[in-house]
Amino acid sequence: MWRKEDGKGQEPPEISTGSVNPTTATKPGTSSLSGFAAPPVSSKSAACVSQGIKIKGELTGSEDLFVDGRVEGRITLSNATLTIGPNATVKADLTAREVVVRGRVEGMVSGSERIQVWHTAHIHGELKSEKIGIEEGAELHGKMEAGKPTGPPAVAGSSKRAEPNKHKDAASGEEKSSSGAAVAGAD
């Protein structure tokens, strides 16, 4: 356990210019944007389409992506997480290993591993993944497919459902008819 922590400490530091003072980092005689701190840039941080940015077209990649702006077209991340932020408006087909939806999406959402739908999500379209988590308050318009892909069609009569004349006791207070083309109950 201690070794693991030691190992973490030995990781190479992230490349970041956020803490660099531009006045000291700039060579004398060269122009600089002195007075403005450079934004943090990290090779490990997720790419971000922030609020106020609008993209039309196709986005592809294999790194995590956070979208909080407007995107129209298609987003495909081969083996990464795509997060649609709460301020995002996306009209696109989304494909990623994991898709987290917190904003507005219009299109087909496909997660090879899973899809998470937060309560702020508003989806018009189709959700398709092996695992889908839907939070209370999420708005879904369209259809959704979840679960492992099924194999060949089940052979009719291979399960208990093929027994048309079985009888089981119903709970008290409820009537029950047997099988056949008959419907019990009061009209």
Partner 1 sequence: MGFLSKLGIAIGGSAPRESVRSLPHGRNGNNGNGRAVAVGPSRQPEIQETTRVSNGLKEFLWNLDGLGRGTLLDLGPAWQTTLSFFIERGFRVTSEDILRGWAEFLREEELHKEERSVENYAQRTPEGLAKKFLNENLKYAPGSFDALLLWDALDYMEPTLAKYTVAHLTELVRPGGGVFAMFHSKKPEGFQRYRVTGTNTLQVLSAKPICPAQKVYQNREIQELFGRYRSVKSYVSRDQLRETLFLK
Contact 38, 20 (CB under 8 A): yes
Q: Tell me: does residue 48 bind partner 1 (CB under 8 A).
A: no
SS3 157: coil
**What minimum distance in Å lies between the beta carbon of 172 and partner 1?**
10
| Piece in contact with partner 1 (CB under 8 A), picked from 36-44, 63-71, 87-95, 128-136 | 128-136
Sign of CA dihedral 85, 91, 97, 99: positive
Chain CA centroid to CA 7, Å? 31
Q: Tell me: does residue 51 bind partner 1 (CB under 8 A).
A: no
- Residue from 20, 47, 53, 162 that binds partner 1 (CB under 8 A)? 162
**What minimum distance in Å lies between the beta carbon of 117 and partner 1?**
7
**What minimum distance in Å lies between the beta carbon of 82 and partner 1?**
16
Q: Within a 10 A sphere around the Cβ of 70, how many other Cβ atoms? A: 20
Q: Tell me: does residue 25 bind partner 1 (CB under 8 A).
A: no
Distances (CA, A) of 15 to 12, 48, 61: 9, 17, 21
| Piece in contact with partner 1 (CB under 8 A), picked from 11-19, 38-46, 73-81, 129-137 | 129-137
Q: Tell me: does residue 118 bind partner 1 (CB under 8 A).
A: yes
Q: Tell me: does residue 160 bind partner 1 (CB under 8 A).
A: yes
- Residue from 24, 28, 44, 186 that binds partner 1 (CB under 8 A)? 186
Q: Within a 10 A sphere around the Cβ of 150, how many other Cβ atoms? A: 7
What is the token pair recorded at 115?
Answer: 């899809």
| Piece in contact with partner 1 (CB under 8 A), picked from 2-10, 28-36, 52-60, 163-171 | 163-171
SS3 4: helix
Q: Tell me: does residue 45 bind partner 1 (CB under 8 A).
A: no
Chain CA centroid to CA 102, Å? 9
Q: Which helix (H) or strand (E) holds 145?
A: strand 139-146
Q: State the residues that interact with partner 1 by CB under 8 A.
A: 114, 116-120, 131-151, 153-154, 156-162, 164, 168, 170-171, 173-187
